[in-house]
Structure 1
Amino acid sequence: MNSKNLQGKSILVVAGDYPYPPNHGMVVDIWNRILILEKIGLKIDLICTVKGNTDSLDKSEIVKHVNHFWIVNRKNRVIDLLSKETIQVKSRVALSRLVINQHYDYLLLEADYVAEILNNKTITYDYAILRSHNNEGVYYKNLGESTPNIFKKFYYFSEAFKFSKTEPALLKKVKNVLFVSMDEKKRYDKQLKGINTLFLPPVIKLETKSRELDNKTVLFIGSLYIDNNREGIQYYIRNVHPYLSQLDGYKFIMAGNTKHHKLQWIDDILRINKNVTFYDTPDDLEPLYAQASVFLNPMLHGAGVKLKTVEAIVNGLPVVCFPTGIEGTGLQQGIGNLTARNAEEMRRYFEKLLTGTSTEKQDIVRKGQKFITKNYDAERLLSNFLSSL
């Protein structure tokens, strides 16, 4: 690890969302990376963009880890649907006007959404780096396919088309790209020449946990306001949950970030199913992992790496999913997960795990944890990458 020559160097991290508390996929990744950057000795400044009132945001923990901290408001306008830029980028245009007057060794863009920071004339830097959390064009296309709402469908497909045009241009402009997905890194390496790429998996705390796994509780943790998670959970409730409900002692725990919105589809599930428990935006996920024996990743559509799958394995649970649930992770069948091709196969895998011995489940988990420990040392990878620039 080449962290000695990074001591005292400066980095400006620009995040498209508020990174604390880290209670859903991308935010977990951003927050853990901030902690890694601090650990390897960089002086960190942070800009994050938020929508709405900022008074309730917890700033106390963030200021412990960064030197300077700015919050920029996002503004969504209907007229921006006509822009060549995506709504996600246009809503953060205030990034270009923020007055900082500072030079940095590194500028880290957390996703394409914050590309407007490159137009800020008060910031200079030696190296710009993009964290590619998703192939955004593919991601929004999948969201469009997941939602039944015609207005959302139009918005998602519009964003998908715009990202498909702007994303390659941004990659060429920034040149240094940290891909969260090995699959997407390989794809862009073939398509674009002259960019410096690295597969940087999500910043996972490699403190793996072992659990008894002696109950019949299935757990889902994820962003509940995202349509591809909603679609996957509803599919599970319709096609798998009724079958598993015949098992004595079976329960399903559903937890995640709702952005404090009332979601009718969750209320519908809870009204009909007495063996489903819901936790809205929990601050601490450990008690939830401790209650469960198997983790569900039901996603049918998606892009990038599936952080919820990796986190579940590190936290001691075997995962049952469809192929989308392990995309970009490098995981194979039987290594931390059982990947189903259809609902019938998913039912069989859940029954096998829920009625099987703890030893069988723990063996699957250990194989996954061994793979992740070997290939997901983000501190080493990131330190070497920054040192090499």
Structure 2
Amino acid sequence: MQQHLHIVCLDVPWPADYGGVIDMMNRIRAFHRLGVKVHLHYFSYNERGVPRELNIFCESVHVYERRKKTECLNLSLPYIVSSRINEALKEQLAKDNYPVLLEGLHCTGIIPFIEQMDRRICVRMHNNEEIYYKELARASSDLFKKLYYKTESRLIKKYVPTLPKNILLACVSETDVDFFREQGFDQAFLLPTFPSWQKVNSLEGMGTHCLFHGNLSVAENEEAALWLLSKVFNKVRVPFIIAGKDPGRPLQKAAALCQHTCLISNPSESEINDLVQKAHINVLPCFNKNITGIRLKLLHSLFSGRHCVTTPSMVTGTGLESACHIGNNSNAIASIISQLYYKPFEEDEIRLRKSLVETSFNNDRNTSQLIQRLW
């Protein structure tokens, strides 16, 4: 019997140019490869348009407008949720009884309108949003953004316990699984993130530079890049590249003042891949005090790069600790970089990575397991 599935995405999943979208798009591709007919629904904003490429992988595509803050006066719901409760979406989902995969807590406001006794509903929890927004508030220097993030975090904390306890929650880390099970969601389970890389293609030998990459418009990534410039690469005089999407003025100014640093704004996917693979060290600090989710840039570095240097909060609970060099502070990170910069990357390290990531993050295998839960 033909399997049909509704997938509701918080954003348009193409182009796949940031972590959450990469995870969503690779899942859609995997369902398509395995013969599932995907009926895609997504919210269009940020001027990302209506890409025709999605028709290759989807049986049908439906686009909805996300509501503006002025239209969402319900102070009991987080804005990320209330802005995606849509009448046209309700009507589309009511036309049949296919299982529904909701991408992110953002899309769960629709649940009371589609919940039926024999309908399977699964929510892909990209991370623990309460913690994620709390950390965004901590990292942000913009007072208005800080207030918004704090408010969202508080509202999310109140909202999550109101979700039906019998829905499936597909979490990206064991830490998040444990959290949601403690909240009473007995059907929370681990569904690893879906990277674009399925085989380790790291190169042996010596690379040419140190690299930090990420979406530089996100507060935690800007914070990490500025910290590296001011606390680490002022001690270690080696070539350092910062690459990513939409760097702000503070980062542009800081990078310009550091003679051995190059800032690459809005690199293409192929440029990022090239930078990661040619780097001798991928440096990926994270300062979140509370840990949630997993960062795709970490997986990118482990699938394609050489040495990877990071901080504990980037890898705790991922099972990837043994493939990374971990430092607790700027002096430790600087010392590790100084030692590794002249150390060739060797075959035994590649073998370790293959054993850690190629099975755990196999998209087709993980999609097959999700299919068994949905039908």
Residue in 1 that maps onto 2:265 = 279
Residue in 2 that maps onto 1:211 = 203
* Distance in 2 (alpha carbons) for counterparts of 1:214 and 1:48: 43
Residue in 2 that maps onto 1:117 = 110
> Which range moved further: 38-47 or 183-192?
183-192
Tell me the CA shift for residue 99 of structure 1.
3.8
Unaligned runs of 5+ in 1: 1-6
Note if contact 2:280-2:307 (Cα within 8 Å) is conserved in structure 1: yes
After superposition, give the CA deviation of every residue in 1:191-225 in whole Å (9 maximum; x if it has no partner): 315x3222111113321103145134122222222
After the TM superposition, which residues 323-338 of structure 1 pair with which residues of structure 2 at under 5 Å, given as runs?
A: 323-332=312-321, 335-338=322-325
Note if contact 1:96-1:118 (Cα within 8 Å) is conserved in structure 2: no
Note if contact 1:310-1:329 (Cα within 8 Å) is conserved in structure 2: no
Tell me the CA shift for residue 91 of structure 1.
2.0
Residue in 2 that maps onto 1:257 = 245
Unaligned runs of 5+ in 2: none
1:136 aligns with 2:129: yes
After superposition, give the CA deviation of every residue in 1:42-63 in whole Å (9 maximum; x if it has no partner): 0001111122445xx3613211
After superposition, give the CA deviation of every residue in 1:298-326 in whole Å (9 maximum; x if it has no partner): 21115211221122101133321111111
Matched residue of 1:243: which SS? coil
* Distance in 2 (alpha carbons) for counterparts of 1:317 and 1:49: 37
Tell me the CA shift for residue 227 of structure 1.
0.9
Residue in 1 that maps onto 2:253 = 268
Note if contact 1:256-1:280 (Cα within 8 Å) is conserved in structure 2: yes
1:15 aligns with 2:9: yes
Tell me the CA shift for residue 266 of structure 1.
3.0
* Distance in 1 (alpha carbons) for counterparts of 2:126 and 2:255: 32
Residue in 2 that maps onto 1:28 = 22
Residues 81 and 126 (structure 1), Cα distance of their counterparts in 2 relative to 1, 3 Å cut: closer
The TM-score with structure 1 as length reference comes to 0.86
1:293 aligns with 2:314: no
* Distance in 2 (alpha carbons) for counterparts of 1:253 and 1:304: 26
Tell me the CA shift for residue 251 of structure 1.
2.3
Note if contact 1:177-1:197 (Cα within 8 Å) is conserved in structure 2: yes
Give percent identity, aligned residues only. 21
1:188 aligns with 2:177: no
Matched residue of 2:243: which SS? strand
Note if contact 1:15-1:49 (Cα within 8 Å) is conserved in structure 2: yes
Number of residues paired by the alignment? 368
Structure 2 counterpart of 1:313, which letter? L
* Distance in 1 (alpha carbons) for counterparts of 2:319 and 2:15: 28
Residues 25 and 97 (structure 1), Cα distance of their counterparts in 2 relative to 1, 3 Å cut: closer
> Which range moved further: 106-115 or 207-216?
207-216
Match of 1:42 among 30, 36, 46: 36
> Which range moved further: 38-47 or 111-120?
111-120
Matched residue of 2:203: which SS? coil
* Distance in 1 (alpha carbons) for counterparts of 2:370 and 2:207: 43
Match of 2:163 among 155, 160, 170: 170
What do you get for the CA RMSD once the two structures are aligned?
A: 2.5
Tell me the CA shift for residue 239 of structure 1.
0.5
1:351 aligns with 2:343: no
Residues 95 and 326 (structure 1), Cα distance of their counterparts in 2 relative to 1, 3 Å cut: farther
Residues 69 and 43 (structure 1), Cα distance of their counterparts in 2 relative to 1, 3 Å cut: same
Residues 153 and 78 (structure 1), Cα distance of their counterparts in 2 relative to 1, 3 Å cut: farther
After superposition, give the CA deviation of every residue in 1:262-303 in whole Å (9 maximum; x if it has no partner): 721232133223421313152323222233122121211152
Structure 2 counterpart of 1:366, which letter? R
The TM-score with structure 2 as length reference comes to 0.89
Note if contact 2:8-2:42 (Cα within 8 Å) is conserved in structure 1: yes
Tell me the CA shift for residue 177 of structure 1.
1.0
Residues 221 and 233 (structure 1), Cα distance of their counterparts in 2 relative to 1, 3 Å cut: same
* Distance in 1 (alpha carbons) for counterparts of 2:41 and 2:252: 35
Residue in 2 that maps onto 1:3 = none
Matched residue of 2:264: which SS? strand
Note if contact 2:199-2:354 (Cα within 8 Å) is conserved in structure 1: no
Structure 2 counterpart of 1:347, which letter? A
After superposition, give the CA deviation of every residue in 1:94-126 in whole Å (9 maximum; x if it has no partner): 366564253243200110001233255699972
Residues 122 and 323 (structure 1), Cα distance of their counterparts in 2 relative to 1, 3 Å cut: closer
Matched residue of 2:341: which SS? helix
